[in-house]
Chain A
Amino acid sequence: MNREQVSRVLQQHGALMVLGVLVIVGSLAFDSFATPGNAASVVVSSSFLAIIAIGMTFVIISGGIDLSVGSLFVLGGVLAAYGSQYGLAVALLLPLAVCGAVGLLQGLVIARTGMAPFIVTLAGLLGVRGLMLAISDEGATTYLVKDPAFAVLGQGAVFGLSYPVYVTAALAVAAMVLLQRTGFGQNVYAVGGNEQAAALMGVPVARTKVYVYVMSGLLAGLAGALNAARLSSGVTILGIGLELDAIAAVVIGGTLLTGGAGGITGTVAGVLLLGVIQSLINQVGSLTSAFQQVVSGVFLALVVVAQRLLSKAQRLT
C-alpha cells in the first residue's frame, strides 16, 4: 500500500480503528467495561443517535447540513406518545408524517431558492421547537404512551438487545445499499462532490436535495418515536443539541463536512465511538459527564485536523 492508499483507508476507517483501540484499552483498564451489560447499554443508548446520524450522513454527503433533527427528534417523541392513544399505527405514522413534511418543506426551500441549508434548517430547529412547546403546553404536559404494543417496540428485547438496536442495524444496512448501490446514492455523492458538474452530467440536483432532507426528517421522527416507546412517554427536554452530536458523529466517521465523500459504516463507528467515550468516562467515576463533552469536542477537533491532512496527502500523490 502506498501513502495515498493508507491515507484513504485512514480517512474511511479511522473511526473504526480508534473505536477498536478504545474498546481494547477500556477492557484492559476497567473490569466492568467489557461486560455484556455495559456493551448492551452503550449500543442501546447509541441507537437513537445512530438513526439520526444515518439521515445526517446523506445530508452532509450531499453538501448540506440539517440542524433541525434535534427538534424533530423531540417533536417525534411527543407526537408518538400523543398518538399512542389512538393505537400503534397512529403512534408510528403521526411523527413520521409530520417530521417528513418538515423535511420536505426544508428540502424544497433549499433546493428551489438556493438558500443556505444552515439557515433554512436553523429556522426549522427554532420553528419545530416552538411547535413542540405549543403541543406540550410549554413542556408542562408530558404525554404518556398509552398503547402497550407501541411501548414494546422500544422496550422489548431479543438476545439482551432491545428492538431499536435491530431497527438501527436494519436501517444502516438499507442506507448502505441505498448510498452505494443505487442511482439515488450516486446522485447524492455527485451533488455533494461538484454540484455544477453533477447538473451537467444529468443528475436531478434539486430532487436529490429534497429527498435527502425528507429522509433526514423521517429518520429523526422515527428515532424520536422509538425513544418515546422506550421511555413510555414523550419527554420534551431530551434532544436539545442532539443535531450537533449527530453532526459530530458523522464527521468523526470520516464524512467530509464539505460533502461528496463519506459513508454509513464510518457514521455508525462515529456514533459508537461517542458512546464508548461516554462509557469510559463513567467508568473513571471521578469525572462528571460534562467531561465527556470536553473529550468528544477535543476528539472532533483532532478528526477534522486529521482529515484535512489526509486529504492533502491524497492530493499530493
Chain B
Amino acid sequence: MSENRFHPLRLLQALVRPIDPALLLILALLFGYAFILMSSASPERLDSQLTHMAVAVGVMWCAASLPSQRLLSLALPLYVLGVVLLVGVALFGEVSKGAQRWLDIGVTRIQPSELMKIAMPLMLAWFFQQREGRIGWREFVMAGILLAIPVGLIVKQPDLGTSLLVAAAGFYVIFFAGLSWKLIVPVAVVGIVGIGSIVAFGDALCQPDVEWVGMRDYQKHRVCTLLDPTQDPLGKGFHIIQSTIAIGSGGIAGKGWMDGTQTHLSFLPERHTDFIFAVLAEEFGLIGALVLLLIYLALFARGFTIAARAPTLGTRLLAGAVTMIFFTYAFVNMGMVSGILPVVGVPLPFISYGGTALVTLCLGIGILMSVQRSRLANKN
C-alpha cells in the first residue's frame, strides 16, 4: 500500500472512495440546472457561483472522507462553538438590513446561525447516541433544551427563516429518535388550526393596530402580505405578485430559456437568489418545475435509504435529519415563491446563488456520503 502511494490510479481511487455515485449524480443534475438558470437570471454572477460550487464540493468531499463516528464526535465542540458565536453576535454583531446576523472575526464575516443548521442535528444525533438504550422522557426534555438555546438566540437576531430551519433540523432528530406520536399529533393539530384561523381571520389580524405577540412587525407583514398580496402591490406584495405572475405565465412548456419576460425585464425581484424558482417556472414551465421536484424526490429517496441502512443510532438520526432539512429548504422556498407560504429568506437548495448556503447544503451531502460509507465499512 505504502509503496504505491503516488500511483495515479490509487490517488483517483482515494478521491473517489468517499463519494456516493447516486448522490453525486443528483448533485450534478441540480448544479446543471443551477448553471442553466443562473446564465439566464444573472449571467454576471455565473463565475462566482461556479467558485462557490467548487468550494462546496470540496467541503462535501472532506465531510464524506471523515468516518461518520468522527463526524459525530465533532458534534459537541461545534455546538458549543456555535452557541458561543451566537452569543457573540447578540453582543457584538454587525447590523445589516435591520438584523444582527453577522460576526466579524477579523478575517471574514461569518453568520453563526448558518453553522447551527448542521451543528444542531449533529449535536442531537450525538446526544441520543450517547443515551442509546435508555432514551426516556428526560432525554427528550434535554434535547428540547439543547434545541431551544440556539433557536432562541437566532430568533432574537431576528432571523425567522433561519431559526425555523434550525428548529426544524433539531426537531427532525427528535422525531426520528422516536418522540411519541401522542405528543406530535396534538402539536400538529394546534399548528394546523392556528394557521387555519390566521388565514380565516387574516383581515382582522392584519389591521395595523393589532400587535402580534412574539413577532416582529416585518414578520407580521410577511404573513399578512401572503394572505393578501394585493393589499400592497408595489411594496411588500410586489415580490409575491410578480413571482406568481412569472410562474403562472410560464404555462406548461414555459417561455423558453432566456425568454422569461418577468425575469429579463426586472419585474422579478431577487431573481438569482430566493426567487430563482420563479425563473425556472417561467422559462421552463410546469414541465421544468416537475423535473426539479423529481430530482429533489430522488435526493430524498437516496437520503432516506442511507438513513434506513445506517449502522448506528447516531448516523441514522443524522442522515434522516439531513434529508428532511433538504426537504424543508426545497418546500419552504418553492412554497413561498409560488405564494402558499410566507416569504421567509430560504434559498432554493443547491440552485440559489450564494456561497454560505451552498457550503452548508453540500456539507449535508457529505454527511450522507459519510454515513453511507460507514455502513459499507461496517458490512466489511
Q: A and B, one complex?
A: no
* Interface, chain A (partner B; CB < 8 A): none
Give residues in B with beta carbon < 8 Å to A.
none
